[in-house]
Structure 1
């Protein structure tokens, strides 16, 4: 089969489109013939060696959708040809609060979805919702699972609350926006691009602020909201986190699952404890949350925002687009027949 292989840590030159052995289904496993696969920032980080335990050479990719190609012994819930999508969270374990020591994410160290075929445990495969195309189904797994847990399990989002999503534009941020709007929240965003804010408003955001052109984006955003914030979902860290603390209403929540701007400097802890804030960490989600996320998508018929569809063999273009951060929504890879 054809696949993308990361030869070693480094730049785009380490991405190879090459022939590799096709996987076979062991007991309680299935092999999926992929039609589309999603791109995540994780794929860039894997190439750059920013995760512990990464191995090379390896096939990246966490998100994918396609048809069941082969079934291992003991698999009874699926038939050859079923259209499915993949939950990339492997071996979460029994505790819903945090993953087990055996937890990993498809795409390194386990070979992933940027290939014509992938094998996964049967419990990580779900039938594709009828209202989603295979292209759309491939876009949602990692990002939508992360967003669902952040909003509902950790963030305890309620209808009518004010929600802030800084840095709108990436895949997870658009999932957060769509799900929060579907749940009746008042969503506000920030971005360095006015066009991204306009797109967010079209998806249901109440408004937003350009943090690059504003002299004081926190003050401006608070004026737009007209009140404080009940829930912030932060993937940025750095100085942005301090601004979210200042924006927070007493007794509100900040959920974090990223720190693209690095460490949080000079956090004023008295603001945190005097406001009685809950600061919550999260990553990925449980199998139950994955199922709940799919049901939420079905109930509200949410279609993910897809920025672009790029042939798998043009993987360097997809990585470059992800690194530039100019996309709005998900980058999807089309897998060759």
Structure 2
């Protein structure tokens, strides 16, 4: 048996219950991971609230996990027992039980093995954060060296990661926060420029066409999307990846009015294939040697999962929330 966080019905953080569940048994093509840590993500908050279509309860949430390989039937050569493993996406915590447990069973195609000395509380923050940041920048935005990038929602965990990765790859990076006092930490993580997000960054750039952005990573979401498009250079691209603003849709969306001429609008959502195609091991190594900084917020134990979700709901972590399982 194992400890697992189970949700039986949607609702407030209190619906998350710590229970005893049978340890899953992997079939050929699957990997059983003894989970050491997992990060919390806003998509899990939305699932908990009942907003994720197709999710059936009861369910063990969690779209990512890190830990030790226990069994990998049929994949022992590529995924050896005892190896450090990371996994994310691919239906975890939605279509099948995810990482909020002492053990999780996932398809082998969405497991990455790596050698690292990172502590579990740091490694546990990385899979979804780095995958989403990298995929948004280089799969969706096709960011190039020397381009001007705006990370809108730069003090989110993905925002901090995106700023650091883009800076290392040679982009000119601007980041935002609603609070002026966050400028120091934003610049510490690699931003060249800082903007107080008053909802009208395009207005702050009036008469400065050269200051507009080639690419915009929109992590706030629909509430600032029109302004992000207006702050983009002709021929530039805006990618909507996050919804920190907690609004899923735009009222009276009129593409001809909102999207400037020749400006492109796209979205990004990660999948299991993206973990395999991105340089996850290289980025984890950069974190290990201190070349790439990631923002860890608060760290909880698994029996503190309700408190951890409340922290996520209230946006008080100021970085990635990580839960240690004790397994």
**TM-score, structure 1 length as denominator?**
0.86
Tell me the residue number matched to 1:163.
149
Provide structure 2 residue ranges, at least 5 long, that are not aligned to the other structure: none
Matches within 5 A, 1:1-337: 1-86=2-87, 88-90=88-90, 105-130=91-116, 132-212=118-198, 216-220=200-204, 227-259=211-243, 260-265=246-251, 267=254, 269=256, 272-274=259-261, 276-285=262-271, 287=273, 290-297=276-283, 300-301=286-287, 302-337=292-327
Contact 2:152/2:218 (8 A) holds in 1: yes
Give SS of 1:110's match: coil
- Deviates most, 111-120 or 184-193: 184-193
**Following TM superposition, by how much is the alpha carbon of 1:143 offset from its aligned partner in structure 2, in angstroms?**
2.6
- Whole-Å separation in 1 of the counterparts to 2:36 and 2:113: 14
Deviation string 1:6-43 (CA, Å, 9 cap, x unpaired) is 12111122110111111112112121111111100011
Task: Provide structure 1 residue ranges, at least 5 long, that are not aligned to the other structure.
Answer: 91-104
Q: Which moved more, 1:221-230 or 1:183-192?
A: 221-230
Label 1:241 to 1:115 Cα distance change in 2 as closer, same or farther (>3 A): same
Deviations 1:225-270 (A, max 9, x none): 9611110111333341111121111111111124433433565625
Deviation at 1:288, TM superposition (A): 5.0
Contact 2:154 2:175 in 1 (8 A): yes
Give the superposed CA RMSD: 2.4
Residues 190-199 or 171-180, more deviating: 190-199
Q: Tell me, yes or no, if the aligned pair for 1:191 and 1:210 is still in contact at 8 Å.
A: yes
Q: How many residues are matched?
A: 319
Render the CA deviation track for 1:286-320: whole Å, top value 9, x for unaligned. 52554423155157443432111111110011111
Say whether the 8 Å CA contact 1:66–1:84 is kept in structure 2.
Answer: yes
Aligned counterparts of 2:69 and 2:24: Cα–Cα separation in 1:
13
Q: Distance in 2 between matches of 1:205 and 1:310?
A: 29
Q: Which moved more, 1:326-335 or 1:32-41?
A: 326-335
